[in-house]
Structure 1
Amino acid sequence: MRVISGRAGGLKLTAPRGTTTRPTTDRVKEALFNILEHAGLLEAAHVLDLFAGSGALGIEALSRGSASCVFVEKNRPALEALQANLSRTGCDTDATVLRQDALRAIERLADDGRRFTLALLDPPYDSGLQTTILEQVADRLMEPGGTLVMETDSRSQLPERIGSCTLHDRRVYGDTAILFFTTEARHAP
């Protein structure tokens, strides 16, 4: 596991101890971030990395020019790996780490008035949280026209419309599917 590109490109990342965290493969991460970079969604972005694990996705975003990233993770071994990875890559100055359950973190961030242009969502495949997380993040934390990226099992089928976000692309890489949702742009009254 490594940072693919950008200012920290090529640096190795630490994986969390144990089997509770499923890191995104370098192949999937490279494809995902090439899509995001080509679409101009990384430069100066304010990123949310929910279910951050080792932080590999948020660190990749920071390495490629995002302005800031909030990492949310509650698992202690994953948090230890995340902190080590932020320090090793020099991305710690642009990062905020919340040791919290995802749903509580969404509530806290919404109460604080935080808004994001890009959300990277990787809940456990068997958690049943995908729809709830998408709806909560889209409706409470995203800037109008923001992008939400959901990593899930390739057999999972999510609705094309969830809350204020709409599916606009789905890519499959072996057992992994990457779904790209966009939030509605709000119109002036």
Structure 2
Amino acid sequence: MTRIIAGEFRGRRLGVPAESTRPTSDRVREAVFSMLGARADLDGLRVLDLYAGTGALGIEAVSRGAASAVLVEADRRAARVVRDNVAICRAGNRVRVVDRTVESFLTAGAGPFDLVFIDPPYDLSSDDVAAILALVLPALTDGAWVVVERGSRSVAVDLPDGLEAVADKKYGDSRVQLAHRVDSPS
């Protein structure tokens, strides 16, 4: 069972697509928001949740005070579940679901965002995730935060210039990298 952990929607149970996604566990989600909370104030942030799956990360951010979230999910069945989860939380006025590939969404000029979650399928290569990070970079505000969740056996993703590694932690079968948007060297 996936549920919202804290904030306005605390305790709401979220649906999970049958076989097409691997939802971030409540334990990992709590650890991610603890990492963020120690470094940033979520109030008023614009959030992007890529490979949304259930939408739990983006919805949790809004529950904890983010102003808005865009949840991108290419799998139509999963996108339908994400829409249902947004409705369960009555968050439709602050959360938008986009059923499109991450690459097509980002190349269309998305942004600006203050916080981005990237939780791709664990079998996506580190090089592919690095390419997504390069596409995300122009959509970030100064000082934005990026959270990348991968399998615990994955190698750390190489960050593009303009992103600085802040934390790299393992929680069970998940590895979470936290990065911060910085000015790239001139």
Q: Same fold (TM over 0.5)?
A: yes
Which of 152, 155, 170 in structure 2 is aligned with 1:154?
152
**Is contact 1:148–1:180 with CA below 8 Å preserved after alignment?**
yes
Alpha-carbon distance in structure 2 between the residues aligned to 1:107 and 1:31:
30
**Is contact 1:41–1:118 with CA below 8 Å preserved after alignment?**
no
Alpha-carbon distance in structure 2 between the residues aligned to 1:74 and 1:183:
26
**Equivalent position of 1:43 in the other structure:** 43
> C-alpha displacement at 1:79, in angstroms?
0.9
Q: CA RMSD in A?
A: 1.7
Q: List per-residue Cα deviations over 1:67-95 (Å, max 9, x = no partner).
A: 01011001111111101110111111101
Amino-acid identity (%):
34
**Equivalent position of 2:143 in the other structure:** 145
Alpha-carbon distance in structure 2 between the residues aligned to 1:147 and 1:9:
23
Q: Where does structure 1 lack aligned partners over 5 or more consecutive residues?
A: none
Alpha-carbon distance in structure 2 between the residues aligned to 1:167 and 1:38:
15
Alpha-carbon distance in structure 1 between the residues aligned to 2:154 and 2:164:
16
Alpha-carbon distance in structure 2 between the residues aligned to 1:33 and 1:182:
15
Alpha-carbon distance in structure 1 between the residues aligned to 2:37 and 2:9:
15
**Equivalent position of 1:116 in the other structure:** 113
Q: Give the TM-score normalised by structure 2.
A: 0.92
Alpha-carbon distance in structure 1 between the residues aligned to 2:174 and 2:117:
14
Q: Where does structure 2 lack aligned partners over 5 or more consecutive residues?
A: none
User: Relative to 1, partners in 2 of residues 1:79 and 1:160: Cα closer, same or farther, differing over 3 Å?
Assistant: closer
**Equivalent position of 2:14 in the other structure:** 13
**Is contact 1:116–1:141 with CA below 8 Å preserved after alignment?**
yes
> C-alpha displacement at 1:159, in angstroms?
4.7
> C-alpha displacement at 1:185, in angstroms?
3.4
How many residues align structurally?
A: 183
User: Which sits farther off after the overlay, 37-46 or 88-97?
Assistant: 37-46
For the pair 1:127 / 2:124, whether they are aligned, the reply is: yes
**Equivalent position of 1:89 in the other structure:** 89
Name segments (4+ residues, structure 1) moved above 4 Å. none
Alpha-carbon distance in structure 2 between the residues aligned to 1:155 and 1:144:
31
**Equivalent position of 1:80 in the other structure:** 80
> C-alpha displacement at 1:158, in angstroms?
2.5
Alpha-carbon distance in structure 2 between the residues aligned to 1:105 and 1:71:
11
* AA partner of residue 168 (structure 1): V
**Is contact 1:7–1:64 with CA below 8 Å preserved after alignment?**
yes
Q: Secondary structure at the match of 1:144?
A: strand
